[in-house]
Amino acid sequence: MRENPMADQNLKPELFELNNGTMRVLITNLGCTITSLSVPGKDGKLADVVLGFDSVEPYLKGAAPYFGCIVGRVANRIKDGRFTLNGIEYTLPINKAPNSLHGGHNGFDKKLWEVAEYKKGENPSITFKYHSCDGEEGYPGDVSVTATYMLTSSTTMRLDMEAVAENKATPISLAQHTYWNLAGHNSGNILDHTIQIWANHVTPVDENTIPTGEIVPVKDTPFDFTTEKRVGESIHEVGLGYDHNFVLDCGEEKSAGLKHAAKVKDPSSSRVLNLWTNAAGMQFYTGNYVKGVVGKGDAVYEKHGGLCLETQGFPNAINQPNFPSVVVQPGEKHKHTMLFEFSVE
């Protein structure tokens, strides 16, 4: 059943805490955005490892370049803001010329989500829900979306994103867009972090950051992170920095169909983040466009101040028949799970 659309008038942006005594996460119902995530490093010292703001106001004003939010209906870029599905051409807002990015001008990151469930205790969790209407930002059909963040162990957070296409086939690809800095959000750039990405292939892009359609091996290129490597080691060879979709094709599987996507380590704090997902790709983005953003505690975030590990369907998949399909048929469900495991080593 459609909820009463007037019910949405009562929603206001709020901050919610998930705290299990070891890690602490703050999330707002505006875009299901993680605003703060504190985990221990060596000597047990806590640090907030995500870029963001102290209150919801800057997010409302559009000060954040997608800090911490869930993006949709379709994450990443759609070429020229157009696609054809079942013989009908759809046009989308061009919000990152010449393409449509992260769902358009008012994507899921700008929406106020309803809190469906909020649990405290040893495994605290919060579930947000949102109903996206037929025609919203140019996309076909009604879609019901939920996102559940849960602390599943002392230093592990799980995110389950689900979206049901209610009455029309539609592309759906949700992504979580947190900018991580494992040394602490206010500690400068991430070029000395090391990263390993379980991807033997990458999807190269044209001058407008749209994949060409090719799927090429990373071996002997600056995109080879199949063994642990400094983020900054070859970054000068890729223009402004990394902003590319990696094909997650070689990670070992955990139970429940999640495969190893990435391992990031900060040498100064010894903090490690292992990311597991069921998604086909991951946009590895090194904060190339961040410049002079005044964040939490008046920290100023600059270029490469954080890195994003946006597991996702491939960019522009709706226009690339050789990419895994992101189309969800009526009555079917898109499911995207991410597991963030923090540790010290």
283 near 175, Cβ under 8 Å?
yes
Helix (H, G, I), strand (E, B) or coil at 269: coil
Cis peptide before 98 (omega within 30 of 0): yes
- Choose the catalytic residue: 136, 137, 162, 310: 310
- Provide the greatest CA pair distance for the chain: 60
Between CA 142 and CA 64 the distance in angstroms is 27
Whether 177 is catalytic: yes
Structure-token pair, residue 328: 């969800």
Contact 313, 280 (CB under 8 A): yes
Residue 310 a catalytic site member? yes
Which are the contacts of 299, defined by CB distance < 8 A and separation ≥ 6? 185, 186
Residue of 177, 201, 260, 304 with catalytic role: 177
C-alpha 315/C-alpha 205 separation (Å) is: 10
3-state per-residue secondary structure call for 125-140? EEEEEEEECCCHHHCC
Could you count the other beta carbons within 10 Å of the beta carbon of residue 207? 6
Backbone angles phi, psi at 38, to 5 degrees: -110, 125
User: Which residues on neighbouring strands pair with residue 82, listed in sequence order?
Assistant: 91
Q: Any idea what DSSP says for residue 60?
A: H
Q: Annotated active-site positions, please?
A: 177, 310
